[in-house]
Structure 1
Amino acid sequence: MPGSRKTRADYYIGLMSGTSGDGVDAVCVRFDEGAPRVVLAAHSYHPYPEPLRQRLLALMVPGENEIERMGVLEEQLAEIFAAASSEVHRRAGLAATDIAAIGSHGQTIRHRPRGPHAFTVQIGNPARVAERTGIATVADFRRRDMAAGGQGAPLVPAFHQWLFGHATRARAIVNIGGIANITIIPAAATSAATQGFDTGPGNALLDGWARRHTGQPQDTDGRLAACGQVYGALLGLLKDDPYFAAAPPKSTGREHFTSEWLDERLRRLGRDLDAADVQATLVALTADTITEALAPLAPEEVYLCGGGTANPVLVAAIAERLAIPVQTTARLGLDPQLVEPTAFAWLAREAKAGRPGNLPSVTGARHPVVLGALYPA
Structure 2
Amino acid sequence: MFVEFLYELRDRGVKVGPQEAMSIAQALRLGLHKGTLDGFYETARALCVHREQDLDAFDRAFAHHFRGVPDEAIALTEELMEWLQQPKSRRELTELEQQLLQRMDLDQVRQQMRERLAQQRQRHDRGNRWVGTAGTSPHGSGGTNLAGIKVGDAPGGRGALEVAGERHFKDLRSDVTLDTRQIEVALRRLRAFVREGAEEELDIEGTIDKTARNAGELELKLRPPRRSNLRVLLLLDVGGSMDPHADVCERLFSAARRATHFKELRTLYFHNCIYGRVYERASLMRGIDVLHLLQDCDPSWRLIVVGDALMSPWELQSAGSRWSWTEDSGAPGIAWLAHLAQHFPHSAWLNPEREISWYGTAEIIRRVFPMYRLTQDGLLEAVHHLMRGGARR
Q: Does TM-score exceed 0.5, indicating one fold?
A: no
- Select the structure that is richer in strand: 1
TM normalised by structure 2 equals: 0.25
Q: Which has the larger radius of gyration?
A: 2
The structure whose RCO (Cα within 8 Å, separation 6+) is larger is: 1
TM normalised by structure 1 equals: 0.25
